[in-house]
Amino acid sequence: MTDGTTWLAEPQSIAFGGYRVVLARGLTADELTARLAATLTYPGPHDVVAIGEHTGDSLLAHMDDAYGYSLDGIGLRVGRSGELVYAVAHGGWQGEFAPPGPVSDDGAHVFLLEYEEENGKLVPPQFAYFHDGRPVVSFNLHLDSSWGYEGVEGDPATAARLEALLADAGLPDPEREEREVHRAALGVVEAFFGLSLPKEAVVGGVLPAVLLEPA
């Protein structure tokens, strides 16, 4: 029995500000963090600096000490759930990463779950799947037309299968509360792709942590 991913729909499920989780099949933790560092959008290469094991709170405290303010840096806590390696972002990650298509190079399967929960522009939670360097499918987990989304986008066959499963779950449903739609959509995604993220380890546990710092 695994924790799945539906718990991410809870308010401040990982930390204030929302969540950014990248899960991967076919990569080691070191490969995942190095490839994620290369997708940072601000100029120049970045080093992955290991800083030992941390809870989310202790990582933010470390970043406060290192940068003066934790939101002035980006940290990742990494772990494994079965065959999946995952990286959870902490600090000022919002808007700082390009889509992780290149993270999936060389046959890797990469899944992005992201929600800027405190963004005043009301950005919806998002899911995207990449394989072998290309986007496969993506959609807005509120299943509305905000931010340019119209249903599941991407590979037609995969999108159609996902939309059929969403329909079986009663979605989209404009009468349902957004958080419930978010949770139900996560349930469809986790079942379809076999995703799981261990809540206890991510929320309160100690995991290996790195900082992404300009080289």
Dist CA 202 CA 56 (whole Å)? 8
> For residues 60 and 91, is the Cβ–Cβ distance under 8 A?
yes
Dist CA 173 CA 167 (whole Å)? 9
Pairing label, strands 74-81, 84-91:
antiparallel
Residues ≥6 apart with Cβ < 8 Å to 12 = 117
Distance linking the first and last C-alpha atoms of the chain: 41
Structure token digits, residue 189: 């995604």
Helix (H, G, I), strand (E, B) or coil at 177: coil
Nearest Cα to Cα of residue 180 among 14, 17, 10: 10
Helix (H, G, I), strand (E, B) or coil at 178: helix
Dist CA 77 CA 36 (whole Å)? 12
Q: What is the pLDDT along the chain (215 residues), one digit of tens a residue?
A: 368 999 999 999 999 889 999 999 999 999 999 999 999 998 889 999 999 999 999 999 999 999 999 999 999 999 999 999 999 999 999 999 999 999 999 999 999 999 999 876 778 999 999 999 999 999 999 998 776 667 899 999 999 999 999 999 999 998 999 999 999 999 999 999 999 999 999 999 999 999 999 99
Give the pLDDT score at 148: 64
Place of tokens 């729909």: 9
Dist CA 187 CA 59 (whole Å)? 29
Give the pLDDT score at 118: 82
Dist CA 130 CA 157 (whole Å)? 15
Residues ≥6 apart with Cβ < 8 Å to 30 = 48
Helix (H, G, I), strand (E, B) or coil at 123: coil
Structure token digits, residue 102: 């290149």
Q: What's the count of helices (H) and strands (E) in the chain, helices before strands?
A: 5, 9
Q: Which residues of 139-153 are buried (b: 16+ CB within 10 A; e: fewer)?
A: bbbbbeeeeebeebb
pLDDT in tens, 65-113: 999 999 999 999 999 999 999 999 999 999 999 999 999 999 999 999 9
Give the pLDDT score at 146: 76
Residue 137 is which amino acid? V
Give the pLDDT score at 1: 39
